Structure 1
Amino acid sequence: MIKNKSQFYENCYKILRKVPKGKVTTYRDIARALRSKAYRAVGTAMNKNPYSPLRTAMGKDGYCLPQNGSAPTVPCHRVINSDGKVGKFAHGTPKKIRMLKKESIEIENGKIDLKKYGFRF
């Protein structure tokens, strides 16, 4: 159980900022970097990412996407499943895939080669 969720989330964002453009990491790797087994809590942190420019303007669902398509200051789109699957994204999987491809990350059958694109902390 996580005692201080907001601090845990901030620690997740701090770790994720280290992942460079063109690389990805996994929920598990972020949890391990934080000496935790809370992989799902990492996913929740990514879903609640308050630092994304994708969350700057209000739409009918509470958020809307910017026109510039720039990468977030906390690039939660760079976090994928440990089996290489792209996984979910708060703004939709198609948007996540577009953002990853814009960073020259190849996606084949919904998966990313972690040996080629994986970032280790």
Structure 2
Amino acid sequence: MKKYNFNVGTKFQKTVWNSIANIPEGKVLTYQELAMKIGHPKSFRAVASACGKNPYVPEIPCHRVVRKDGGLGGYSAEGGIKRKKYMLEKEGHKFNKDKIILKICR
């Protein structure tokens, strides 16, 4: 398991970013699943916020975290949502319009 020592961010953000660092290429988690994984099951919005404040893109691959309905959510890096979708497609993910097909990427 990768573990980074970040020099910015809150304790919660650092926990989120370290967890995201361990999502392998070709896999995704929802914001809710990630919140549960780090022990804060009701904090999925805070997880989404931490993703949006990730200063370590693309090393910390927040593009691999999506909404539970398959929507992409946000992407704060250059190119925004179009870039996030491109990166996920490059990793082999399939889409139905602008929603990732979650059952395929599990």
For the superposition of Structure 1 and Structure 2, which TM-score range results when normalised by the shorter chain? 0.7 to 0.9
TM-score for the superposition, normalised by structure 2: 0.83
Looking at structure 2, the residues matched to 114 and 107 of structure 1 have their Cα atoms a distance apart, in angstroms, of 9
Mapped pair 1:17 → 2:21: yes
Aligned residues: 95
Give, in whole Å, the separation in 2 of the partners of 1:23 and 1:38: 21
The answer to which structure has the higher strand fraction is 2
- Please state whether the residue corresponding to 1:30 is helix, strand or coil: helix
Residue 51 in structure 1 maps to residue 70 in structure 2: no
The TM-score with structure 1 as length reference comes to: 0.73
CA-to-aligned-CA distance 1:60-98 (integer Å, 9 cap, x gap): xxxxxxxxxxxx111001110011112221131111111
RMSD after superposition: 1.3
Give unmatched runs, 5+ long, in structure 2.
Answer: 1-8
Structure whose alpha-carbon radius of gyration is higher: 1
Indicate the structure whose relative CO is greater, using CA pairs within 8 Å and at least 6 residues apart: 1
1:84 is matched with: 70
Return 5+ residue gaps in structure 1 as ranges.
53-71
